[in-house]
Amino acid sequence: MGRTGTHVIVIGNEKGGSGKSTTGFHLAIYLLYQGYKVASIDVDSRQQTFTTYVKNRRNWAQQRDLKLPHTTHFHLPIPKSDSIKENQKLEFDLFRQAVVEVEGVADFLVVDTPGFDTHLTRLAHSLADTLITPLNDSLIDLDVMAHVDPVTGDPREMSHYARLVQRARTERLAIDGRTIDWILVRNRISMLSSRSMRLVQSAIEKIAVRLGCRVAEGIAERVIFRSLFPMGLTVFDPLDEELLGGLPSMSHLSARQEYRQLLDALRLPISERAAARNAAMAAFAEGQGNVGQFEHMATSS
Ligand SMILES: Nc1ncnc2c1ncn2[C@@H]1O[C@H](COP(=O)(O)OP(=O)(O)OP(=O)(O)O)[C@@H](O)[C@H]1O
Ligand SMILES: [Mg+2]
């Protein structure tokens, strides 16, 4: 696995609202269900969407007495001081403390970053073993990666975020000789095909070649993601009425299928420890029915 036994997954993109927090949260919950120990850090101290997702999940589980798996979560405080320097120092100290605490304990650490450049966003990027960049399917969103020729889709100049990642990669290589596996994920894909969407797709592929990253088949535009947020649920949670507070739909199943494909495409490392735990839990679930397995998968709160 990573440097310390904990594989660090960073979700980043300077474009706001591209699906970072939603993707990061889904990924974390998926890994919990796979039997891994998962920690998460929300570096977005202003919006704290990931943290709200975590809190919503805990509340929902508590109110209904449900045994859901939870990540060991850390978040930064909303900045109080007027001094940028003071805030930066406080955030950095808390971030470092969280990373030290999970090192070697968690199998995976998922770090959600804000849609803008901060000192911690940069630091988080250079710690990544896997970097996931969700991209909405439009030329406007691609502009965050590279300025693209509107007719041919050829990338021209690399943009600020792409340069930030390249810098993080160079730093990382100098520090411990590791590379960051960078994956672009198309998110909120429209079900309707159009010329402009085909242009976007071909532009993403060309950008990926230029930047040395991979492209994963993404997630379609589905209202279900917005409806799961207030309950802190994901498409990986069991789709029964008790959990959802309503009936599951076909859209849940399709979204789950898409996310699974995406997660396969990430090619995350599987440790022997976690694989053994997973096998033990699968055997247990088979003997006991599915209800008990949540208890065993839950990490500390
Ligand atoms: N595949 C999808 N289909 C429909 N809506 C989606 C999808 N993915 C995310 N969303 C919705 O898009 C909005 C933005 O998503 P999210 O908060 O995950 O983005 P973000 O990149 O973390 O934003 P920010 O940059 O502000 O932190 C949310 O309302 C979320 O529910
Ligand atoms: Mg976010």
Q: Looking at residue 288, what is its pLDDT?
A: 54
Residue whose C-alpha is closest to residue 207's, from 168, 153, 246: 153
User: Is pLDDT above 60 for 156?
Assistant: yes
Q: Looking at residue 290, what is its pLDDT?
A: 40
Amino acid letter, 88: Q
Residue whose C-alpha is closest to residue 69's, from 34, 33, 39, 106: 33
pLDDT confidence bin for 292, thresholds 50/70/90: very low
- Cα torsion through 218, 223, 225, 229, rounded to 10: 160
| Three-class SS state of 219 | strand
Give the number of domains in the chain.
1
Domain with residue 205: its CATH number is: 3.40.50.300
Q: Is the Cβ–Cβ distance between 139 and 199 less than 8 Å?
A: yes
Best of 15, 21, 22 for a ligand 1 pocket test (most atoms within 8 Å of beta carbon): 22
CA of residue 3 to ligand 1 center, whole Å? 30
219, part of any domain: yes
1, part of any domain: no
Please identify, by atom number, the ligand 1 atom nearest to the C-alpha of residue 17. 23
Q: What is the separation of C-alpha 19 from the centre of its chain, rounded to a whole number of angstroms?
A: 9
The owner of tokens 């592929």 is 205
Structure token pair of residue 117: 């450049």
User: Is pLDDT above 50 for 301?
Assistant: no
Assess whether the C-beta atom of 19 lies below 6 angstroms from ligand 1: yes
Q: What is the DSSP letter of 78?
A: P
pLDDT tens profile 105-146: 999 999 999 998 888 999 999 999 999 999 998 888 899 899
pLDDT tens profile 54-84: 999 999 999 988 899 999 999 988 777 778 8
Please identify, by atom number, the ligand 1 atom nearest to the C-alpha of residue 114. 27
For the segment 89-106, the average pLDDT, to the nearest whole number, is: 91
Domain membership of residue 116 as a residue range: 7-297
pLDDT over 70 for what percent of the chain? Answer: 86
281, part of any domain: yes
- Cα torsion through 242, 246, 250, 253, rounded to 10: -30
13, part of any domain: yes
Assess whether the C-beta atom of 259 lies below 6 angstroms from ligand 1: no
Q: Is the Cβ–Cβ distance between 54 and 112 less than 8 Å?
A: no
Assess whether the C-beta atom of 26 lies below 6 angstroms from ligand 1: no
pLDDT tens profile 232-282: 999 999 877 777 666 667 888 899 999 999 998 999 986 655 666 667 766
Tell me which of 187-196, 251-260, 286-295 is least confident.
286-295
Residue whose C-alpha is closest to residue 57's, from 46, 48, 66: 66
pLDDT over 90 for what percent of the chain? Answer: 55
Angstrom distance (rounded) from CA 116 to CA 18: 12
164, part of any domain: yes
Q: Looking at residue 151, what is its pLDDT?
A: 84
**Where is pLDDT greater, at 222 or 193?**
222
Assess whether the C-beta atom of 51 lies below 6 angstroms from ligand 1: no
96, part of any domain: yes
2, part of any domain: no
Tell me which of 73-77, 171-175, 292-296 is least confident.
292-296
For the segment 282-299, the average pLDDT, to the nearest whole number, is: 46
Average pLDDT score over the chain: 86
Assess whether the C-beta atom of 125 lies below 6 angstroms from ligand 1: no
For the segment 168-185, the average pLDDT, to the nearest whole number, is: 92
**Where is pLDDT greater, at 49 or 199?**
49
Specify the pTM: 0.88
